[in-house]
Structure 1
Amino acid sequence: MAIARRRLWLGLRVVLYALLFFGALALFQDRLLYFPDTPPLATVLAEARRDGLAPWPATGDYRGLLREPAGPARATLVLFHGNAGHAGHRAWYAETLARLGLRVILAEYPGYGPRPGRLGETALVADAAQTVALARQHYPGPLLVGGESLGAGVAAAAVAQIPTGTAGLLLVTPWDRLENVARFHYPWAPVGWLLRDRYDSIANLARYDGRVLVAVAERDSIVPARFGTALHAALKEPKRLVAIPGADHNDWPDRVDAAWWRDAIDFLLSPPQTGATAAPQ
């Protein structure tokens, strides 16, 4: 009888510890997904000016950073960055794409950089949709929306809220559903029950009929390429899938060149009748 009671008590302790652990995981999951850097606005703008960037749409209403091309803009691209740092850390995107004639807005999230706000899918997506709508109001011509990693999930959800008015969508190292990425990293956890932010890009893009380019890193150890490939498979035409050979999640920019970017932007800005799906490269 005493042995049975000890086994019962041991079992209850294991259950209790598991509940406490998974409860803490659910409570603090934002710290596993969002890694914001939050310098003051003056610091962000001082660094941005050195990179040829200006506050957008204005210093008093800061939502990101702007880079204009040297000549007339072919299009405007609103780009949502990954889950770490802040928008100013992505100045290289603006420099690269401005050379191709794009006006580039490096969008900032609530709770990142100098912007106040709460972290989480609801807040980030609602704000992103406002940013995209504001860019469309400000600038004539084609509007592209792009995102990298977390930013790809945000971009997909934002265009779902604004289904018309965007010429194309650039998704770099994206996932199909965040839950699948969470299961990959935590196969022992009941992530389906615990996960608060879903970023279900397949569902969000189910009705999107603009051009989509999905770029996956061949050796991505954080968001494995198969999740981006699954997203591409679920999308409507016109779409393109490009695999970056030998690339991991964070080193892919070093493995693409100006021609790669030119081909990507030319695809997104091509007339609808020329669209075609390309095999992974």
Structure 2
Amino acid sequence: MPLLAFCIRLALVAYVIALIALYFMQDRMLLPATLYDAEPPTGHHAGYDVEPWHANGHYAGYVATPAVDQPRGTFIVYHGNAESAENKLPLAEVFLRAGYRVVLAEYPGHGKREGSRTMKAALNASRDALAAAREQWNGRVFLAGESLGAGMAAQVIRGNESTVAGVVLITPWDTLASVAAETLWIFPVRWMLHDPFDSIAALAHYASPVVVIGAQEDTLIPVAHARALASAHPGAHPMLLTDANHDDWFDAMTGERWQQVLLWLGAG
């Protein structure tokens, strides 16, 4: 019995230490360092130009401008974790081909942007990107976010419902808390998160088009979360990629599928 009691106490101590570590290290877990450094995509490309973009006087990503007399509006792209703005040029090209200017938003501590790599800083930067884009250019503004970026895009809409013309959320969560609870089920993560990043609640008063793209084989954010998000928002347009996972969804997006997304958004 003394040995059993000792083992139980040891397990409890280890559990409490793990709880404390998870609480204070959650930003590092949610926002790991960029997996690889990519070269800045600045310069002239076929049909568009890319240059560094600034918000509030600070580097905040890139802006890609199509070779047209007048862009039809602006898309702001929010990338996922372990990525940087440099990685999102292929996604930007979808909207550039449709005649839109594209902002590749960067979070502090990612890519070439200095600052603290925290969820709070990333969210503040995401909101600043919308405010800066609206200040710099006229026309409609759409948001597009992938994974973590989908969570950021949803939160940016809260309080800005009337200024965002539409949003596409790719491999999203419904709430960060629900995803974390599945992964770390042994811990009370719903009470430990600094912010539950509830995308359902963030979109509750949003009346403009919402497109939700889920990947059937997604093991990082299981597709059930994309389904839950789409189901919770009246009028949302779900698109299921049956043979795609969290990392290769873009390869599954054909030209016809992108055209459908743009039509749903009213941006086609």
TM-score relative to the length of structure 2: 0.90
- Is 2:211 the counterpart of 1:213? yes
Distance 1:266 1:73, change over 3 A: farther
Offset of residue 44 of structure 1: 5.0
Alignment match, 1:133: 131
Aligned residue number for residue 7 of structure 2: 10
CA deviation map 1:59-99 (0-9, x unaligned): 96311111112213222100100011210111111223211
> Does the aligned pair in 1 maintain the 2:78–2:104 contact within 8 Å?
yes
The answer to whether the 8 A contact 1:157-1:201 is kept is yes
TM-score (norm 1): 0.86
Once the two structures are superposed, the pairs formed by residues 138-157 of structure 1 within 5 Å of their partners are 138-157=136-155
**Divergent runs of 4+, >4 A:** none
Give the direction of change, closer, same or farther, for the CA distance of 1:60–1:193 in structure 2 (3 Å limit): closer
Shift of 1:217: 0.7
Deviation at 1:39, TM superposition (A): 9.1
Partners of 1:211 and 1:236 in 2: CA distance: 10
- Asked if structure 2 preserves the Cα contact closer than 8 Å seen for 1:170 and 1:213, the reply is yes
Report the counterpart of residue 85 of structure 1 in structure 2.
Answer: 83
Gaps in structure 2 of 5+ consecutive residues: none
2:251 to 254, 260, 273: 254
Report the more deviating stretch, 49-58 or 8-17: 49-58
Partners of 1:247 and 1:23 lie apart in 2 by 36
**Offset, 1:160:** 0.5
CA distance 1:24–1:58, change in 2 (3 Å): closer
Whole-angstrom CA distance in 1 between matches of 2:86 and 2:189: 32
Q: Percent identity?
A: 33
RMSD over aligned Cα, in angstroms?
2.3
Q: Structure 1, unaligned stretches of length 5 or more?
A: 272-281
2: CA distance, partners of 1:184 / 1:39: 28
Q: What is the one-letter code of the residue matched to 1:231?
A: L
SS of the residue 1:219 aligns to: coil
8 A Cα contact 2:141 2:166, kept in partner: yes
Separation in 1, partners of 2:35, 2:251: 26
1:246–1:10: structure 2 CA closer, same or farther, 3 Å change rule? Answer: same
Matched residue, 2:175: 177
**Residue-pair matches, total:** 264
- Equivalent pair of 1:79/1:147 in contact (CA under 8 Å): yes
Q: Is the contact between residue 56 and residue 132 of structure 2 (CA under 8 Å) also seen in structure 1?
A: no
Where does residue 49 of structure 1 map in the other structure?
A: 43
8 Å Cα contact 1:156/1:201 also seen in 2? yes
Query: How many Å separate the matches in 2 of 1:112 and 1:263?
Result: 32
Aligned-pair distance for 1:100? 1.3
Q: Which has the larger radius of gyration?
A: 1
Alignment check: 8 A CA contact 1:144 1:168 kept? yes
Shift of residue 58, structure 1, vs aligned partner: 7.6
Q: Is this contact kept in 2: 1:38–1:113, CA < 8 A? A: no
Q: CA deviation at 1:261?
A: 1.3
